[in-house]
Amino acid sequence: MSAEKIVYQLLTESTDVTDIVSTRIFPVVLPLDYGFSAIVYSLESKTYRHSFSNGSNPVHVTSTVNVMAMAKDYPKLLELVAAISQAVDNKVNFVSDHGLYPTTRQINQSADNYDGDLDLFQRALQYRVTHSESV
């Protein structure tokens, strides 16, 4: 399972997250007809470690996934960031077909940002996801 799918699954399975954003969890780009609050997630990087014991398939992967939280008011942004952290950070909830237990760990948070043009508060959270994939 890809790191993006793992993060998406953790976000959508969290009632704390979906109570705030409903279904507004998007890959890469926020659609023009969005509502707030919302989340956009994207893959930043991926590093493969091939296993010599079983050939080149599957491989262990370390990925970095960015999760952008967005809200119209600052208290709602803080609530959303807390819900995302609770849903995604330090999870070992998935068993892949290849026997690796994927793990997630928060590695960074950006400073809060306010976009005056959009009247929107934002904070980026960055996660390292260790998992396996077929290549």
| Domain range annotation of the chain | 3-133
Residue 70 has pLDDT above 70, yes or no: yes
pTM above 0.85, yes or no: no
Residue 93 has pLDDT above 70, yes or no: no
Say if CB 68 and CB 40 are below 8 A apart.
yes
pLDDT tens for 95-133 read: 544 455 677 777 878 889 998 988 899 999 998 888 777
**3.40.50.720, 3.20.20.150, 3.90.550.10, 3.30.2000.10: CATH of 3-133:** 3.30.2000.10
Of the two residues 76 and 60, the one the predictor is more confident about is: 76
- b vs e for 99-114, b when ≥16 Cβ sit within 10 Å of the residue's Cβ? ebebbbeeeeeeeeee
User: For residue 130, what pLDDT is reported?
Assistant: 82
Say if CB 27 and CB 4 are below 8 A apart.
yes
